[in-house]
A and B are shown apart, each in its own frame.
Chain A
Amino acid sequence: MSKRYFPEAGLPVMLTALALVLCNAGESRAQEGTPQDIPDAIVRKVDPSVVAIQHERAVGSGFVISPDGYILSNGHVVRGNDPDDPSQPAKSIVVIMSDERKFPAKVVGFCMNPDVSLLKIEVDTPLEPVEFADSKQAQIGQKCFAVGTPQGLKRTFTSGMLSNVTRTDLGTFTAVLQTDAAINPGNSGGPLFDREGRVLGINTYASRGSNNLGFTIPSHVVQVLRDHFMAYGHFVRSDVPIFFASEIYDELGRALQFKQGVLVNYIMKGSSAEKAGLRQGDILVAIDGKPVAARTQAEMLDINWDFTIRKPGTSITLAVMRGVPGAYEEVALRAVLEETEPKPATRRWPGEQKIHQYETLGLKYYDIVKLQRVYLGLPDVPGVIVKGAGKNSPAAKADLKASQIITAVEGEPVGDVASFESALEKAMAAHDKVIVLDIQAGKLRFKTALAPFYDLAEQKIAIIASSPQSEYLDLIRRELLADGAQLSISFLEDAEAYTAQPPVPMTGIKGEDIDILLLLDGSGGTPIWENEEILRIVREANAAEKKLTAVGSAALALIAADEALLEKKMTTSKQHSGEAVRRKARYTGNEVEKDGNVLTTTGFDRDTVREFIKQLRAYR
């Protein structure tokens, strides 16, 4: 400390300054409850409950809701990126506590709309859970603050007020809260607290369509979802008889000469509303004896929510006014709630439907759900819907376009994905040069032909899997079939359970007779690398310089079979990497590894396996 900075008069100045600071501190405590500050004590109290969530592709925030480790966040923070199966979460999720302890997390359940997820970590010491506020009592203008872990910063606190408590125009399933407290990408999944430090909702930062928006899912909605995830593992929606009903706004009430209730606009064929006997034009006035009325969209969404979350199978009574304006009669009906079909994608969110694809053919397609027919204006013909055709692919050359329905394959009607795939695969196994498809486009019908390239037509591929339950067996088989490969499939166990094509006993396989050997692991049972038959086949194939390929732990069979293969670079699943190293394999840890005639993959997720298939195709 230099004398220059502390002149003789220094000490008195310092003391004065200190006094001023202390006074201010005292002053701010006295100001507790004024608009400017969130109380320090509250901030410190909630801090330990807020966590950061990371996985291979995204980061977000979350918060602890039980001492034993249940954590809430947004659905989009934990979702996987497999378009084939949107119900799959990301693979390796890590939760980071405020004190930097890290825990692997399991997803108990998640949903994209409402955008909520529930995770579980295993802890030794109890955690600090949050308290929930009653979001139904939230007031516009109320002070609140958001906590999150945006973009790599440790954590941030932003504060503001509730700008709106009933935003219904963002394409969300329920009304949401709007705050001017800054919400940015990393805050997603973090809590919005009120001034007492109780959770008003989950902050959601979303890029929907071309908008970047921040909104908060109210805690009363979040808690219901938590209960669903814990009980069922997913959000079970009931098909509500009032799905196509709307609020009775002022003018509508005057025109109908009836101001209470909700108006039934449309009855979808096959819906529970139809089964209950509801008719277009009915005014629903009570459910289970309790009056029901909505004048605004927010009220409508609330009613919708109350019934969607009820258990499917529940029976409810409906009281409707039926007739013409000025002459209504009350009619009593009974409806049974059913679970809805997976919701199709809309402009704003990806939907819950599984998209199927043959990447080789460039064709994406899915089953038709009733709601989809209404959204897309499709006629009531059975078939599968084309989602899209990849550029320059056989599907594009067949002039297939999104929203077309494929109604028959080679003259055989197909009513769903299963029958479509079965018919298509029969034709591809026979290497049909063209596969004639019947198409329904809007009200028009025509025929077209799919001409697969059959790049692997010359290749005899022997697939050997632990069991028919091997994770990627179906995916690999379908893509290789679409490529025209001659496939034989064998199993270590449970061969009788496999129905897609007759399995071949391993004893009949000679390594020199095949072109490509493909080994797939599976959980349980004998490890694939300890089976003598498999090791024999690997040795024979390697001696004949055939291609050896393996997914996940099955890669160990290659190095176990032949010492010469230890020279080749390879990869395997993370859990088995230790074993690979122990056996002195050239383990690289890459997702897909190719070295001469050896091609291996970790089999981490479907994307990785698709990359593996792409590289396998290069062997043609």
Chain B
Amino acid sequence: MKHRYLQRIGLLGTTALLAGCTLPKESAPSQGRSSFAAMQQAVTEVSDRSKDGLVLIKMEGTKPSGNSYTVSGGSLRKDTSLSDKTYCGLILDADGHILLPRHAEPADAKRILVWVGDTEYSAKILKSDERLDLAILKIIPEAPLTILPRPTEKTFSAGAWGVLLEPSGEDKDFEIFTSLGFCRGEVAGRYGEFRMDGTPSMAGSLLIDLDGQLVGILKVRGLVRSMIDLEEDFAVLLADAMNPGEDDDEAKKKGWLGILTQPVNKAYGRELDLPRSALWALHVFEGSPAAEAGLQAGDVLVGLYNKPLRFNGSRANTFFIQSLRPKPGKAFTLDVIRDGEPMVLSGTFAEAPEPDTLLAEDLGVAVQSISNQEVIKKNLFADAGVLVTEVVKGSSAAFSGSMGSKLLNKGDVIVALGGEPTPTLDDFNRVLDRVRQDKPEVLLVGYVRGRSTGYASLNLSLGKNGKGENQ
């Protein structure tokens, strides 16, 4: 009997306790209001803390991009008017280095102005990266600048809320505009992007998470570039910008690895137990850094710089190319699988070979020397000769007796002029010089077109350019 009472009391007690726990302290709507108020407060705090970390950039007098048209006087005209472009910039350090969220050349704009708060500065472009689509500007600040904290690991993801800050100009009293954005998800890639709802439209607008960390910068409305993915590369860009000692020409020299790659087919990769992200080395160019490192056609690439490749299909190829960032002298390591055996190959990038070119005005063709690269990439069937890269309109090479087809085409390989073989660009030049001296009326050109061969006879009295050389 006692047990039963105790049991009942125990049961009642437990029930009361549970009820006490689950019954809301307040009613649901007011709970909602206080959650909302807390959110508002968080947003206000974050934007207050962060608003000094961004600047307004105005590029004055920028040329329009190649493909914009305007309607004027009832007809479509190519847009040639200059305009001003505004961006949100990020303060990178106290010295006045500012991140411009677009690739820009100094010639692109007449003047670049930067407002830190309501103080106006003139800025210049230190360095720009076309691939990253970012540039570093420099101002000489009068007062110390605020730098926003950036996360070291990825914390922002689908479902998270973030604050988007957009600067405004004089007409709006330099206020910072705030939006609350919601992350719908991430678009995978070497440089990930967040799909956001509720974003402003100014490129470069900052995305700050509710802890006050800078998470991304706006690419276009709705799409934010992930800061973590950009971090490594723009640190290099910034370092380059701050080392003015580097020769411009040196900097422009492109490095190369010297291979052609193609993603390994998914089903085939599974069959061979390859990692999900794998690339065929389709071809290794003779004498290239890859060849020196021992890479062979048929090898499967699975890692670069000691990190595994990411993504599948053509994205794996893009990831590889974007991660490579070859510079002459820079070291690389490749993780490779050959006949089922893993290997690590290493080497250094070399300067990318550039073909020699020549414009033969009298014939009306631009040609370049042929290397293994052209033979493979353009599927040539001649490894000696010069490759026609352009046929000048109205020239003797462009002229044709039968309708519609020129005597010489882009992609032809010229192997002989006037009966003399021209295996190299030097030979071609030498024979051309003789031709210019002899001044024949017609010139026989021997060429290889695809797999077939052919002859064309150019009438050299036609198509002289109006440069006063046709005496």
State the CA gap A20–B451 with chains docked (Å).
72
A434 touches B268 (CB 8 A): yes
Instruction: Indicate whether A443 sits within 8 Å of B379 (C-beta atoms), given known contacts A251-B442, A324-B419.
Output: yes
Q: Give the number of residues in B that approach A within 8 Å (Cβ atoms).
A: 38
| With A265-B454, A325-B419, A374-B451 as contacts: A251 and B379 at CB distance below 8 Å | no
Chain A residue total in the interface (Cβ 8 A): 42
Contacting pair A436 B271 (CB below 8 A): yes
Residues of A within 8 A of B65 (CB): none
In the complex the two chains form, what is the Cα distance from A268 to B381 in whole Å?
Answer: 13
Q: Which of A42-50, A189-197, A252-260 contacts B (4 or more CB under 8 A)?
A: A252-260
Binds A, one of B36-44, B88-96, B154-162, B397-405: B397-405
Q: Would you call A265 and B419 a contact (CB within 8 A)?
A: no
When C-beta atoms are compared, the residue in chain A nearest to B460 turns out to be: A251
Which of A249, A398, A434, A444 meets B260, CB within 8 Å?
A: A444
Residue A569 at the chain B interface, CB threshold 8 Å: no
Task: Give Cα A373–Cα B297 distance, bound, in whole angstroms.
Answer: 24
0 or 1 for each of A243-281: is its CB under 8 Å from B? (1 = yes): 010100111101110000001011010000000000011
Chain A 358-399 residues near chain B, CB threshold 8 A: 373-375, 377-378, 397-399
Residues of chain A with a CB closer than 8 A to B451's CB = 373-374, 377-378
The answer to whether A442 touches B402, judged by C-beta atoms less than 8 angstroms apart, is: no
When distances are taken between beta carbons in the complex, the residues of chain B under 8 Å from A375 are 450
* Interface: A127 (CB within 8 A): no
B283 touches A246 (CB 8 A): no
Instruction: Check B442 against A169 for contact (C-beta < 8 Å).
Output: no
Q: How far is the CA of A475 from the CA of B401 in the complex (A)?
A: 49
Question: Is B450 in contact with A434, judged by CB distance below 8 angstroms?
Answer: no
Are B444 and A447 interface neighbours, CB within 8 A?
A: no
Assess whether B376 is interfacial by the CB under 8 Å rule: yes
Q: A168 an interface residue at 8 Å Cβ cutoff?
A: yes
Measured between beta carbons, the chain A residues less than 8 angstroms from B456 are 252
Complex: how many Å from CA A265 to CA B402? 16
Report if A443-B375 is in contact (Cβ < 8 Å); known contacts: A254-B442, A436-B271. Answer: yes
Indicate whether B265 reaches chain A with its CB closer than 8 angstroms.
yes
For B314, the closest partner residue in chain A by CB is A399
Chain B residue with Cβ nearest A378? B451
**200-253 of chain A: CB within 8 A of chain B:** 244, 246, 249-252
* Neighbouring B residues of A324 by C-beta, 8 Å: 419
Which residues of A426-478 are within 8 A (CB) of B? 433-434, 436, 442-451
Q: Is the CB of B452 within 8 A of A266?
A: yes
Closest to A325 in B: B419
A446 touches B267 (CB 8 A): no
Q: Which of B390-422 contact A (CB under 8 A)?
A: 401-404, 418-419
B262 within 8 A of A: yes
Residues of B within 8 A of A447 (CB): 265, 268
Q: Which of A375, A398, A399, A451 has the most CB of B within 10 A?
A: A399
Query: Given that A443-B379, A444-B260, A446-B282 are contacting pairs, would A399 and B450 also be in contact in the complex, using a CB cutoff of 8 Å?
Result: no
The reply to whether the CB of A297 lies closer than 8 angstroms to some CB of chain B is yes
Would you call B69 an interface residue if the criterion is a C-beta within 8 Å of the partner chain's C-beta atoms?
A: no
Residues of chain B lying within 8 A (CB to CB) of residue A433: 271
Residues of B within 8 A of A436 (CB): 268, 271
A contact residues around B464 at 8 Å (CB): none
Query: Given A254-B441, A447-B268, does the pair A377, B381 have CB atoms closer than 8 Å?
Result: yes
Please, how many angstroms separate the alpha-carbon atoms of A445 and B262 in the complex? 10
Cα–Cα distance between A374 and B452 once the two chains are bound (Å) = 7
In the complex, A446→B299 CA distance in Å?
A: 10
Query: Distance in Å from the Cβ of B114 to the closest Cβ of chain A?
Result: 48
Q: B271 to A446, Cβ gap below 8 A?
A: no
Q: Which residues of A contact B457 (CB under 8 A)?
A: 249, 251-252, 254-256
Of A169, A280, A443, A448, the contact of B402 (CB 8 Å cutoff): A169
B184-201 Cβ-contact flags toward A at 8 Å (1 or 0): 000000000000000000
Name the residue on B nearest A295 (C-beta). B401
CB <8 Å contact, A255 and B442 = yes
Q: Is B70 an interface residue (CB 8 A)?
A: no
Please give, as numbers and ranges, the residues of chain A lying within 8 Å of B63 by CB-CB distance. none
> Contacts A297-B402, A443-B283: A266 and B265 contacting too (C-beta < 8 A)?
no
CB distance from B65 to the nearest CB of A (A): 30
Q: Flag if B379 contacts A377 (CB, 8 Å).
A: yes
Chain A nearest CB: distance from B367 CB in Å? 19
Chain B residues with Cβ below 8 Å from A296 are 401-402
Chain A min CB distance to B282 (Å): 4
Pair B401/A249 contact, Cβ less than 8 Å: yes
Cβ–Cβ < 8 Å partners of B270 in chain A: 434
A444 touches B271 (CB 8 A): no
With both chains docked as a complex, state the minimum distance between the C-beta of A433 and any C-beta of chain B, in angstroms. 8
Q: Report B-chain residues with C-beta under 8 Å of the C-beta of A325.
A: 419, 444
Q: Closest residue of chain A to B271, judged by CB?
A: A434
Does B305 touch A at the CB level, under 8 Å?
Answer: no
Nearest-Cβ distance from residue A443 to partner chain B, whole angstroms: 5
Provide the residues of chain A in CB contact with B443, threshold 8 Å.
Answer: 255
Name B405's closest neighbour in chain A (CB-CB): A169
A266 and B453: CB pair below 8 A?
A: yes
Distance between Cα atoms of A263 and B297 in the complex (Å): 41
- CB-CB nearest in chain A for B459: A251
Q: Is the CB of A449 within 8 A of B268?
A: yes
Which 10 pairs, one residue from A and one from B, show the smallest C-beta to C-beta distance? A449-B268, A255-B444, A255-B457, A251-B457, A266-B452, A449-B267, A252-B457, A448-B265, A265-B454, A442-B379
Interface residues, chain A, CB within 8 Å of chain B? 168-169, 244, 246, 249-252, 254-256, 263, 265-266, 268, 280-281, 296-297, 324-325, 373-375, 377-378, 397-399, 433-434, 436, 442-451
